[in-house]
Structure 1
Amino acid sequence: MIVSKPEDARKDGHFSPAHTFVDIFAGCGGLSLGLMQAGWKGLFAVEHDANAFQTLHDNLIVPDARFRFAWPDWLPMVATDVADLLTTHRQQLAACAGKVDMLVGGPPCQGFSSAGKRNPNDPRNRLVEQYLEFVRLLKPRVVLIENVRGITTDFDDSAADGGKLNYAQWIIKALGEDYDVSTRMIDTSLFGVPQKRHRFFIIGFRRGSGIDPLQLFDAVERHRQTFLRRKGISSVPVSTKAAISDLEVSRNGKIPSRDSAGFQDIAYQGPLTAFQRLMNDGWVGIPPDTRLARHRPEIVARFAKIIDLCHADGRLNVSLSSEIKASFGLKKSAIRVLDPNAPSPTVTSMPDDLIHYSEPRALCVRENARLQSFPDWFAFKGKYTTGGERRKMEVPRFTQVANAVPPLVAEAIGLSVAKLLDEWQNPKPAIREKQRLKFPETLEAQP
């Protein structure tokens, strides 16, 4: 496998040498992958879950990876808790100050998510504080945070004084001491991701960098059509069928699972659509993570009836009606049959939340990964699923996919941030004169 240099990804040739980033709460690496595809140089990443880190390691750290982190000698290539790293390697982290262009990450969001219980006391919410501590140590030029929409919603009774707590406002206020900050709710389907997924992004440019953060999201939107054309995506949104129809069992058949005794994998005959060719990315053979769920015959029959009823009633991509749930004795509220002609609803960590649009089964990990815009060569590691209290401690494959930032969105944002940094450092004469008038103290410090 050929190792791609960061600068190789910058095919339009207008970028300076690669900007650097560090990714904490990195998960399986969706955000890092997108930034590397945009030409950024990853220095290192931090992820505490062993399953997720193994995925990150095998795709973005090993010597023969298509995109690779540089990785410092002082940091072990193992799953690491952010709090422990702040304690054990504080001196080395502080030495990185001024050498990191952007700190990125998505602190775990379970306590904020509307899909969960929105518990203000969930200890995972406090991980945001650790992210901010990294900001204070590394002093990056740019800060990028991604999280769920729920981070912008008040917790009614969370504050000790009886007030309300909005974590987004708290983060923005904390960053505002040293950064100019802007925010945006982004619909990922507008960037070619075949999923109606809304995520909240916070971007901060360090005071004195001379860049107005409001420019970033305007630039992302301004360059969006060009980005889509370069990706071969002729129109958005991309439908679920356009994303995963090449993985239908009826087309490919099955083979014994390559990593799980007693299971079956989807065989594979190649891509059918432009989006599938983009995701296939030169992969030869059967992609990883095509293991099928082992549904009991009565579950298969139930799914088949539900699919027929939802198509007949036009209730696709939405929760089952109370009548349908009652007729099958179902209590689960989130189950939905996919609409083949529309982007998927938000992919979740529960494998049976989404039923295939025509086949009586849950999606496999690879299909979920396609809906998140992961290329087929990106292989997920560790357990497939987990349950009970272990959900708070383990991040199996389905959860890794669901928690990730879609690489296509990360790439689009990464390209725009890099372009802003480059244009500030190497502006045209007319633009430089405007910069001199608006930010004289910044330009005086430049060589």
Structure 2
Amino acid sequence: MLSLIDLFAGCGGMTSGFAAAGGYRPVMAVEWDLHAAATYAANFGEDHIRWSDIAAVPDAAIPEVDVIVGGPPCQGFSNLGSKDVNDPRNSLWREYLRFVRRARPAVFVIENVDRFLASTEFALLEAETEGYELTAGVLSAADFGVPQRRRRAIVIGSRIGRIPLPAPTHSRDRWHTVGDVLRGLPERPATTFLPDSQAEFFGTTVPGPFKGLDLHVGRNPTPLSLERYRHIPPGGGRFDLPTELLPRCWREKKTGTTDVMGRMRWDEPSVTIRTEFYKPEKGRYLHPQWEPGVDGHRVDRPITHLEAARLQSFPDSFEWCGSKIEVARQIGNAVPPSLARAIAEHLKPYLVDVAAAHDPHSR
């Protein structure tokens, strides 16, 4: 078994993929957000996750491992963030490298937004990873079995020889689609609330854990919002709204993103699932069911938490902790497990000698 550390672990999307690939054993994870750490603990055990600021983890507590994975916060690089070069979150990759120097993994993997590769911080990271060969590029989650067009920067660092990025496992004509994962779920969620359930992690009580249909929760849109949703066809967006339904800001801005107030298509992957997928004004997050005509069958609502988790390739058995907003943030911030699994399986042949060194029967 290859030992694994997951940094900035969030809810555990990366660990989920590596565990599903088999052959990897998580021995440490670090996450500062309580509810994300609780979600991780609910799925992978509380014994090895530290609910802590990564900077507060002492060197002496960092074990030597075979693989380190993680995604330092990306707000400083994201198109949706401030893009402030002085954003202190930009330098958290330095904490990641502190773990690399201490744990001396054979391989490490960094996941981030695609803009990261063009940043000054990435150039500095390249200069400070002595002893490791780096391979970096942008992967689309749809090419690895995720029903979502999510483009992410992946950096593989290796001290056992250069490791290329994984090749796509799914060609465009075999992409998983919105329909593959949303069909069959109730069109009208039975509730707008998560169940009244609590659990204790790290000596603290948190909401949860929730799984499966627990997460199929709706909202209560206003009549105006419902009227707007009614006019949006699959693939459409705010430009499909009649003038009288446009808010002033949209009426006066006739250019810009087409995803806002958008509706998904059954036969395509979704757009990137972000942390506020339950707000159609934030992107193409309306349910795909829409038929033309006065009597056309339409499902006029944003996707639910369960639908968003499926679009991120989480299994229904995955357990979540936190409020609706906190769980949504975890879903949107996560590395899709299917993408992580593809990376984990790609790394295995390169790590075979490392694994053999741990197996007494191979000596």
Match of 2:204 in 1: none
Shift in Å, 1:383: 2.0
- Match of 1:321, SS state, is helix
Alignment partners' CA distance in 2, 1:54 and 1:122: 27
Q: Does 1:83 align with 2:48?
A: no
TM-score by length of 1: 0.66
Structure exhibiting the larger radius of gyration computed from Cα positions:
1
* Equivalent in 28, 31, 36 of residue 44 of structure 1: 28
Shift in Å, 1:424: 7.5
Q: Does 1:300 align with 2:269?
A: no
Shift in Å, 1:404: 0.7
Q: Does 1:243 align with 2:243?
A: no
Shift in Å, 1:33: 0.6
Pick which of 289-298 and 373-382 moved more. 289-298
Query: 1:84-99, aligned counterparts within 5 Å?
Result: 84-85=56-57, 89-93=58-62, 96-97=63-64
Structure with more of its chain in strand, by fraction:
2
Match of 2:39 in 1: 55
- Cα RMSD for the two superposed structures: 2.8
TM-score by length of 2: 0.81
Shift in Å, 1:152: 2.0
In structure 1, list runs of 5 or more residues that go unmatched. 1-17, 63-69, 72-76, 155-165, 229-233, 262-284, 386-395, 427-445
In structure 2, list runs of 5 or more residues that go unmatched. 198-210, 251-256, 290-298, 357-361
Query: 1:209-228, aligned counterparts within 5 Å?
Result: 209=160, 211-214=161-164, 217=165, 220-221=166-167, 224=169
Shift in Å, 1:120: 1.5
Alignment partners' CA distance in 2, 1:134 and 1:78: 14
Alignment partners' CA distance in 2, 1:172 and 1:288: 44
For these two proteins, the number of residue pairs brought into alignment is: 323
Alignment partners' CA distance in 1, 2:143 and 2:173: 9
Structure with more of its chain in helix, by fraction:
1
Q: Does 1:421 align with 2:361?
A: no
Query: 1:19-418, aligned counterparts within 5 Å?
Result: 19-39=2-22, 40-61=24-45, 71=48, 79-85=51-57, 89-93=58-62, 96-97=63-64, 100-154=65-119, 166-175=120-129, 177-206=130-159, 209=160, 211-214=161-164, 217=165, 220-221=166-167, 224=169, 236-249=174-187, 254=190, 257-259=193-195, 287-305=213-231, 307=232, 310-311=233-234, 315-316=235-236, 320-321=238-239, 327-329=245-247, 331=249, 334-350=260-276, 351-352=278-279, 353=282, 354-358=285-289, 359-385=299-325, 396-418=326-348
Alignment partners' CA distance in 1, 2:243 and 2:54: 42
Alignment partners' CA distance in 2, 1:143 and 1:326: 53
Shift in Å, 1:169: 2.3
- Match of 1:128, SS state, is helix
Alignment partners' CA distance in 1, 2:212 and 2:132: 46
Percent of residue pairs identical: 28
Q: Is the 8 A contact 2:29 2:50 kept in 1?
A: no
